[in-house]
Amino acid sequence: MLADRIDMPAERTEMGGYTLFENASLAARNTLRVDARAKLLAEVREAAKLPELLEFPAVRNGKLLVLGEGSNILFTGDFDGTVVAMATRGVHVEQDGDVARIAVAAGERWDDFVRWTLGQGFAGLENLILIPGTVGAAPIQNIGAYGTEVAEFIESVEAWDTLEQRVAILDRAACAFAYRDSVFKHQPGRYIVTAVRFALPRSRELRLDYAGIREELARMGVDKPAPFHVAEAVVHLRTRKLPDPAVIGNAGSFFKNPIVDASVGEALKDAHPELAAWPGSDGRWKLSAAWLIEASGFKGQREGDAGISNRHALVLVNHGHATGPQLWAFAQRVIEGVQAKFGVRLEPEPVVITAG
């Protein structure tokens, strides 16, 4: 019988290829440091054991949530189901001319993998350095930063299809990547990502025209940058702008940059010339959520321990002991404030898990 008292310590059971924890705390498994608990936590070391795990009645008949490093999630209560944490490891490289095809286990840390690719002389992921999370989480969110999205370098995603009960290989088209979006977000719970296959070149044109990268390279005294120079510049920029989750609880950028019709973007730009906005190839405009939030007066604000970082307006922070409901209530206050001032409704970037 599963433990159901919130104050009981987690009971641990070792199985071949995975470990089960009953009544498990998730406080150390989400970067917002919300003290939520899971009815059952399964830490999976061997992807081949997933079918066996998922056939347990307690797992099969309940809710399921796949969790990486918890850097893109907000718990607003305890999770009355099974949390699957992929702890698989492994990197396999096949060289194909000037392109390396690299299969990476879902449990590998994203930042460790990016730094490994740079050390091996591969290009492409340098703008995505220092993003928290696991490799398996990267395609779900289609993580992006400094003008680059991971989808550009993903060849395929391997996953366990819980609906069809089989291993599925989804190519880039099947993943349906879009801005901070993918098929995995539109069919939550269906796919458990077990590995990601990347195609990385030895050389490519560097992406420098975004958010101060060229200026940072100039400060570094670099006039002929290589990928590792760009990565170092991005590290400098991110550490200056974004609070460290190890120091203060946060999930990085909490709000998506809104996409609006051209007429809306043009009208806002006319009314607010200082607004950061970018016309897209599809005729719509992407607006800076950070600018909208700061212009609405929320940067640096807090209620109790929930607030917006004084370093970057996109970042919702936990100053100490804010609960999930308190953080979500403050985020909703920001969303409503921006909509009231500018007529644009922001959306959260992390997954918000409601109680139950």
- Single out the catalytic residue among 108, 158, 232, 349: 349
Return d(Cα 200, Cα 125) in angstroms, integer.
8
Q: From the candidates 180, 182, 232, 238, which is the catalytic residue? A: 180
**Could you confirm whether 11 is annotated as catalytic?**
no
**R_g of the chain, CA atoms, integer Å:** 21
Which entry of 156, 182, 253, 309 is annotated as an active-site residue? 253
> What is the residue-wise DSSP string for 143-209?
-EETTEEGGGGEEEEEEEETTTTEEEEEEHHHHT-BTTB-HHHHSTTTEEEEEEEEEEES------S
Question: How is residue 223 annotated by DSSP?
Answer: S
Q: Residue 105 and residue 279: Cα distance in Å, rounded?
A: 37
Cβ of 165: how many Cβ atoms within 10 Å? Answer: 10
CA distances from 270 to 87, 277, 280, 305 (A): 50, 11, 17, 37
Beta strands at 73-75 and 351-353: parallel, antiparallel or unpaired: parallel
d(CA 35, CA 174): 36
C-alpha distances in angstroms, 282 versus 216, 259, 260, 261, 264?
31, 11, 11, 10, 14
Could you confirm whether 288 is annotated as catalytic?
no
CB 91 within 8 A of CB 105: yes
Q: Is 156 an active-site residue? A: no
Instruction: Assess contact for 322 and 296: CB atoms under 8 A.
Output: no
For 261, phi then psi, to 5°, come to -60, 155
Q: Can you spell out the DSSP letters for 59-118?
A: HHTSEEEEESSSTTEEESS-EEEEEEEE----EEEEEETTEEEEEEETTSBHHHHHHHHH
Tell the burial category of 221 from Cβ atoms under 10 Å away from its Cβ (0-12, 13-18, 19+).
exposed
Residues annotated as part of the active site: 180, 253, 349
